[in-house]
Amino acid sequence: MFGYNMKLAVTSMRRNPIMTTLMVAAIAIGIGVSMTTLTVYYLMASNPIPEKSEVLFAITLDSWDPLRPFDDDYPERAPHQLTFGDAERLLQLGKGKRQTAMFESSLIIEPTNDGGLPFEATSRVATADFFEMFNVPFLHGGGWGEAADDAMEPVVVLTRQLNERLFGGENSVGRQLSMDGMLFRVVGITDTWEPTPRYFDPINGGFQNVNEMFIPFSLTRVLELGSIGSDWGWKAESNNSFEQWLNSEAVWIQYFVELVSSGERSEYVAHLDAYVNEQKRLGRFARPLNNSIHNVMEWMEYHAVVADDYRVLVGLSFLFLLVCVLSTIALTLTKFIGRKGEISLRRALGASRTTIFKQQLVEVGAIGFTGGLIGLCLAGLGLQGIKILNDAPDGLVTLDWVMVLVAIIVAIVSSVVAGIYPAWRVCQIPPAAQLKTQ
Amino acid sequence: MGIRPMLSSLIRNKTGPLLVALQIAVTLAIVINSLFIVVQRIETMNRDSGIDVDNVVVIDVRGFGEGFNVVDSIANDIDLISAIPGVIAATVSNHAPLTGSGSGTGLRSVPDETIDAIPAGRYQWSEKGLDALGVRLSRGRNFYPEEVNFVLPETDNGTPPSVLVTQQLADELFPDDDALGKPVYWGNMELSTIVGIIEHMHGSWVSWDNLGNVVIQPGKPAFINNRYIARVDPGRRDEIMPIIEQRLGESNLMRVVKDVRSLEEMAANSYRRDRSMAIVLATVITLLVGLTALVIVGLASFNVTQRTKQIGTRRALGARRIDIVRQFMLENWLITTTGAALGIVLTAVVAYWLETAFALPRLDWRYLPVGIVSLWVLSTLAVIEPARRAASVPPAVATRSV
C-alpha cells in the first residue's frame, strides 16, 4: 500500500512541478535557517563538561571598594576574579577535593632548532590539579605533580599544536625547552582539547582557543609573569615593583575548586567566610561578607556566555520556519483542492476517506523529507558562513547527530502538520459532486 | 466585477487566502524587526571614531633575554619606523583605540572619593600620538616633547601634570564650565591639568557606554610588551606594513615582532559581532522576501490555471482583459492588506519581545509604513505576470467542455 501511495505521490508531484518545487524549497529554507541558528545556540549553551559541571565551582570573594560595588549593574555581585594574595593563601589552605588558581600569560619560546626565530606563545598558569579537574586528555605523559608546584619546578605541558610546531609532533616528554630565559622540562602533551564554551575562563572570552601550554602557578613570582587577561582595580596603590603588584588589591586570578558533596560545598563556603573574616581583622575586605561558589553552568550564565544576539536569531528564525509552514499549508491546500476531480473519481471507485487521507499524507511526508534533507545541506552551508563571519573555533559550528535528527524530525513534523488540514479537507469531497459537473 | 462578488468568493474559500495573509503578516513582523536591527548595527559600525582608521598601523613587539634594554629598543624602533618613507608619525602607546585591548580609569573634577568618578579610556603616548592616529585637537595644545618621558615598570614614574581629554569627557567632568586649564583628579587624588581638548575620539572597547570618554597622558610606556602606532600616507598602508615588519625584524634580534596589523582590520574585528548579526539577518530577510514572493506567484499562477473556465466565461460575457487583470490584482491586494493589518500587530508584539527580553532599542515606528508599502509593491509585482496570463485566456474557452 505504501508503495502504491508513493507512486501516486510521485505522479502528483510531477503533475505540478512548480508547486512541488515551491513546497520543497519552503521546507528546505525554513529548516536550513532555523537549524543553522539553533545549532549555534545549542552548541554555545550546551554543557561543556556534563560529567563534572555540578562539582566544579568558580569562587568569588568581595574584596572590592568599600564605597561602591564591583558592578553597578549587579550591585550584589562580588568581583569575578581574586587578588593574587587571596588566591595564593586559599591554595595553601586547600580544603577542596582539588583546586586551582590560574591566569593567562605569554612567554617567549627560544627556538629548539638552528635558524628558527624566537616566538611568543600563550600559557595558562595553573596548579597541578588543573588537568584532573577539567578532564584534560593527554597524548603523552601527563600533568605535573603537587611536588612540582611546591618546588617551583620549571615544567611545562604542551598542547598538541605547540608540540607539532616545536618538536614535529613526536613524543617530547622529557625534552628541554628554553622560555623567557629559563630551561623547562616537558612533562606532557595534551590531545586535542577544545572545550566549547571555554567554561573555565569566560572572563577573557568564552569562545577562544585553549592556551598553547600550561606551566605551574608557583612560577609567577620566579619569572615575574604578567597577565595577558583582564585585571581590575579599585584602590589607588602605587605598584612600583612586581612584589607590590602581587600584594595589591587588583583582581586578576581565576580560582576553581572541586567539591563533590553538598556537605563539602557548605563546608567550603564556611571556610571562605572564615578566611575573609580573618582578613577583615587585618583591615581588608571592608564590604559586607559576600562570598559565593558558582558551578559551571551558573558561571556561564553569570558571564552571559551566550550573547542575546543568538537568542534573538533563534527566535526570529523559528518565526521564519512558521512562515515556511504557512506557505506549505497554503500551497498544499491549493494543490489538493485543485485535484477535486481526481479525488472524487477515486472515491466514486471505492477508495475510502482513510485511504485518500493516507495517500495525501504520504505525499506531504515525502515533500517534507526531501525538503528536510536539502535543508540540512543548507544548514551545513549556513554554519560554514557563521564560522567565517565569526572566525569561530571548529567546535562551534559542527552539526552533530542530535541536530541532524532534530532537523529531520522538525522537517517531517512541520510538513505533516502542514498537510493534515488540506488532506482532511480533501477527504470531505463527496464522491459524486465533482463528477457531475464534468 | 465589483469588490463584493470577489469578497464573497474569497470568503467562501477563505482558508487559502487567510493562510497567505497570515504568512504575509509574519513576514512583515520578521522583516521589519530584522531590518531595524540591521540598520542599527550598520549605524554602529559606521560611527565616526575620530581616528584615521584606514591609514593607521599597529605594531606589537616584545623584548626578551638578559641585557635587553627596553628604552633603547623603543627609541630605536620609533626612529626606524618614522624614517620609512611614507610614514607620517609614529609613537609608542600603552594601547591602541578600537582594538578591544585598553585601560580604563575614573576621573573627578573635585578631590572627593565619595562622589562617583567619570569613567574614561586611558592612553599614554608621546607628542606624536595625535598625529599617529590622525586625531584632531580642537582647543588648547598638544604635549610638549619635554613633557614626554619613558614610563618604566617598578619605578615611581609620578603622575604627569598635563592631560588631553575628549570634548565628551570634558563636558561630563565640567558640565557648566570650560574644562580647558582645569584640574582633574585621579583615583589616588593626584591631579593633572587639562591642556588640550580633542574634538572627538573613540576608546578601545566599541560596545562600552563610555566609548567617547578618553583621557591621554604624556609618556612612553616601556614594559615587556610594547605597542607602536604609526600613520602612513593615504593609500600606502599595505605597501608600507611589510617594510615595517622587515626592518624591525632585522634591526634587533632581542625582541620579537609579534604582529604588524592595520587598525582597520583590528577595528573590524572589534565590530565582528555586529557585522555578523547584520549579515545573518540580511540573509534571512532576503530569503524570506524571496520565498513569500515566490509563494504569491505560485499560488496566483495555480489559481489562473484552475479558473481558466471561469475567466473564459467572464470574457465571453463581455469582461475586458483589463477587468480580468483588475480582478486578480484586487484579490491580491485584499489579501496583502489583510496580511499587513495583522502584520502591524505581530510586528509590535515581536518588537515588544525584543525590547523587553533582550533590552534591544525600541523599534522606530517609521519602519512600519516603509515595510507595508514595500510589501504592497512586492506582492503587486508578484501577481502581475499571472494576472496577465489570466487576461490572455480567450473567451472561447468557456464554450469548450473540459
Whether the per-residue pLDDT at A434 is higher than 80: the answer is no
Asked if residue B17 has a cis previous peptide bond (ω within 30° of 0), the answer is no
- Residue A319 and residue B280: Cβ atoms within 8 Å? no
Domain termination residue (choose one: A262, A290, A318): A290
Please give the average per-residue pLDDT across B181-195, as a whole number. 93
Name the residue in chain B with its Cα closest to that of A26: B291
Query: B189 at the A interface (CB within 8 A)?
Result: yes
Angle at which helix A353-390 crosses helix A401-427, to 10 degrees, equals: 150
Q: Chain B residues with CB inside 8 Å of A237's CB?
A: 188
Helix-helix angle B272-306:B308-316, to 10 degrees: 60
Distance from CA of A375 to the nearest CA of B (A): 13
Domain contains A174: yes
Chain B residues with CB inside 8 Å of A316's CB? 30, 33-34, 281, 284, 350
Q: Which of A119, A181, A313 sits opposite B66 (nearest CB)?
A: A181
More confident residue, B15 or B372: B372
Q: How confident is the model at residue B402 (pLDDT cuts 50, 70, 90)?
A: very low
Spatial distance between the Cα atoms of A198 and A196, rounded to a whole number of angstroms: 5
B26/A119 CB distance under 8 A: no
The pLDDT, as a whole number, for residue A55 is 95
Domain boundary among A265, A290, A315: A290
Say if residues B88 and B270 touch (Cβ distance below 8 Å).
no
Confidence of residue B63 (pLDDT cuts 50, 70, 90): confident
- Tell me the mean pLDDT in the region A59-65: 94
Q: Based on the domain organization, do A73 and A183 belong to the same domain?
A: yes
Instruction: Tell whether A23 and A66 lie within a shared domain.
Output: no
pLDDT tops 50 at residue B42: yes
User: In 10 A of CB A432, how many CB atoms?
Assistant: 10
Most confident among A336-345, B5-14, B261-270 (mean pLDDT): B261-270
Question: Binning pLDDT at 50, 70 and 90, where does residue A393 land?
Answer: low
pLDDT in tens, A115-170: 677 889 999 999 999 999 999 999 999 999 999 999 999 999 999 999 999 998 89
Q: How far is A326 from chain B (nearest CA, A)?
A: 6
Say yes or no to pLDDT of A238 above 80: no
Partnered with residue B119 across adjacent β-strands are: B106
% residues pLDDT > 70 (chain A)? 96
Q: Which residue of A has its CA nearest to B23?
A: A323
Question: Which chain B positions have a beta carbon within 8 Å of A421's beta carbon?
Answer: 15
| A243-260 residue pLDDT tens | 999 999 999 999 999 999
Task: Give yes or no for a contact between B38 and B367, defined as CB atoms under 8 angstroms apart.
Answer: no
Nearest to B358 among A312, A317, A320 (CB): A312
Long-range contacts of A163-171 (CB under 8 A, 24+ apart): A163/A139, A163/A189, A166/A109, A166/A112, A167/A112, A171/A140, A171/A141
Q: How far is C-alpha A260 from the geometric centre of its chain's CA atoms?
A: 24
Which residues 193-222 of chain B have a CB within 8 Å of chain A?
A: none
By C-alpha distance, the chain B residue nearest A388 is B276
How near does any CA of chain A get to the CA of B229, in Å? Answer: 20
Average pLDDT for A14-26: 85
Residue A272 maps to a domain = yes
- In this structure, what C-alpha cell is assigned to residue A247? 600584594
B113 and A438 within 8 Å at the Cβ level: the answer is: no
Query: Which residues in chain A touch residue B20, judged by CB atoms under 8 angstroms apart?
Result: 326, 330
Of the candidates B116, B258, B302, which has its C-beta nearest A334's C-beta?
Answer: B302
| Identity of the residue in A317, A331, A421 whose CB atom sits nearest the CB atom of B299 | A331
CB within 8 Å: B273 and A390? yes
Residue A301 belongs to a domain: no
DSSP secondary structure letter of residue A196: S
pLDDT band, very low/low/confident/very high, at B7 (cuts 50, 70, 90): low
Among A203, A259, A199, CA closest to A231: A203
Whether residue A411 is contained in a domain is answered as: yes
B291 touches chain A (CB under 8 A): yes
A42 lies in some domain: yes
Q: Which of A29-38, A211-220, A387-396 has the highest mean pLDDT?
A: A211-220
Q: Please list, in sequence order, all residues whose beta carbon lies within 8 angstroms of the beta carbon of residue A293, skipping any fewer than 6 positions away.
A: A57, A58, A59, A60, A257, A259, A265, A268, A269, A272
Residue A55 lies in a domain: no
**Which residues, including other chains, have CB under 8 Å from residue B255's CB and lie 6 or more apart?**
B61, B62, B63, B64, B68, B73
Find the domain containing A24 and state its range. Answer: 2-48+307-437
Pick the residue from chain A with its C-alpha nearest to B16.
Answer: A330
> Is the separation of the CB atoms in B88 and B231 below 8 Å?
yes
CB contact under 8 A, A317 and B284: yes
Does A356 lie in the same domain as A312? yes
- Range from A133-142, A340-349, B89-98 carrying the lowest mean pLDDT: A340-349
pLDDT at B37 over 70: yes
Question: Is the pLDDT reported for residue A355 higher than 60?
Answer: yes
**pLDDT score of B234:** 96
Q: Are residues A95 and A220 in the same domain?
A: yes
Put simply, whether B188 touches A (Cβ < 8 Å) is: yes
CB contact under 8 A, A390 and B302: no
Contact B136, B201 (CB under 8 A): no
Q: Is the pLDDT of residue A333 over 50?
A: yes
Q: Per mean pLDDT, which range of A23-37, A323-337, B66-80 is the poorest? A: A323-337
Residue B117 has pLDDT above 90, yes or no: yes
Does the beta-carbon distance from A331 to B295 stay under 8 Å? yes
B228 with B90: CB under 8 angstroms?
yes
Hey, are the CB atoms on B402 and A331 less than 8 Å from each other? no
| B324: confidence class by pLDDT, cuts 50, 70, 90 | confident
Tell which of A263, A290, A317 closes a domain: A290
**CB burial class (10 A; 0-12, 13-18, 19+) of residue B154?**
middle
Q: What is the three-state SS of B221-240?
A: ECCCEEEEEEEECCCCHHHH
Determine the average pLDDT of the residues in B126-133: 96
Q: Please, what is the average pLDDT of chain A?
A: 88
3-state DSSP assignment of residue B55 = helix
Q: At residue B202, does pLDDT exceed 70?
A: yes
Candidate from A22, A330, A438 with C-beta closest to B16 = A330
Residues A391 and A272 in one domain: no
Examine the pLDDT at B6 and tell me if it is beyond 70: no
Query: Are A354 and A414 in the same domain?
Result: yes
Single out the residue of A393, A400, A397, A398 nearest to residue A161, CA to CA: A393
Q: Are B273 and A316 an interchain contact pair (Cβ–Cβ within 8 Å)? A: no
More confident residue, B78 or B376: B78
| Residue A110, pLDDT score | 85
Q: Tell me: do A72 and A110 sit in the same domain.
A: yes
Looking at beta carbons, which residues of chain A come within 8 Å of B354? Answer: 312
- Same structural domain, A262 and A383: no
Q: Between A49 and A207, where is the model more confident? A: A49
Q: How confident is the model at residue A349 (pLDDT cuts 50, 70, 90)?
A: confident
Q: How far apart are CA B212 and CA B189, in angstroms?
A: 23
ipTM for the predicted complex comes to 0.85
Q: DSSP letters of A129-189?
A: THHHHTT--EEEE----HHHHHTT--EEEEEHHHHHHHHTTS--TT-EEEETTEEEEEEEE
Backbone angles phi, psi at B218, to 5 degrees: -75, 140
Q: Does A26 lie in the same domain as A78? A: no
- By the 8 A CB rule, do B181 and B150 touch? no
CB contact under 8 A, B292 and A327: yes
- pLDDT, tens digit, 9 for 90 and up, residues A152-166: 999 999 999 999 999
Give pLDDT, residue B314: 84
Q: Which of B66, B270, B283, B284 to mutate to test the interface with A (most CBs of A within 10 A)?
A: B284
Residues of chain B positioned with their CB less than 8 A from the CB of A396: none
CA distance A366 to A374: 12
- B272 has a chain A CB within 8 A of its CB: yes
- Sorted by sequence, the CB contacts under 8 Å of residue A47 that are 6+ apart come out as A53, A296, A297
Instruction: Give the Cα separation of A105 and A94 in Å (integer).
Output: 24
HSE-CB for B192 with a 13 A CA cutoff: 23
> Which residues touch B342 (CB under 8 Å, ≥6 apart)?
B21, B22, B24, B25
Contact B256 A120 (CB under 8 A): yes
Query: Which cell numbers hold the place of B89?
Result: 608619525
Q: Choose the closest CB to A309 out of B224, B273, B303.
A: B273
Please give the Cα distance from B62 to B90 (Å, whole number). Answer: 17
Q: What is the mean pLDDT of chain B?
A: 90
**For residue A438, what pLDDT band results from cuts at 50, 70 and 90?**
very low
Which residue is it, cell 554543557? A47
State whether A25 and B276 contact (CB < 8 Å): no
CA dihedral of residues A15, A21, A23, A29 (deg, nearest 10): 170
Q: B153 and B193 in contact (C-beta within 8 Å)?
A: no
User: pLDDT tens digits, residue range B328-380?
Assistant: 888 888 889 999 999 999 999 999 999 998 888 889 989 999 989 988 898 88
**Is A403 in the same domain as A267?**
no
Q: In angstroms, what separates the C-alpha of B138 from chain A's closest C-alpha?
A: 31
Put simply, the answer to whether B287 touches A29 (Cβ < 8 Å) is yes
**Grid cell at residue A209:** 582557543
A389/B154 Cβ within 8 A: no
Interatomic CA distance for residues A201 and A102, integer angstroms:
9
Structure-model confidence comparison of residues B156 and B219, the more confident one = B219
Tell whether B381 lies on the interface with A, counting CB pairs under 8 A. no
pLDDT in tens, B272-284: 889 999 999 999 9
Do residue A37 and residue A83 come from a single domain? no
Residue A198 and residue A97 in one domain: yes
Residues of A in contact with B19 (CB under 8 A): 326, 329-330, 333
CB contact under 8 Å between B280 and A313, yes or no, is: yes
- Looking at the domain assignment, is residue A56 inside a domain? no
CA-CA-CA-CA torsion for B374, B379, B380, B385, nearest 10 degrees?
140
B139 CA: distance to closest CA in chain A (Å): 30
Please give, one letter per residue, the 3-state secondary structure of A64-108.
CCCCCCCCCCCCCCCCCCEEHHHHHHHHHHCCCCEEEEEEEEEEE
- Split into its structural domains, chain A has a count of 2
| A300 located within any domain | no
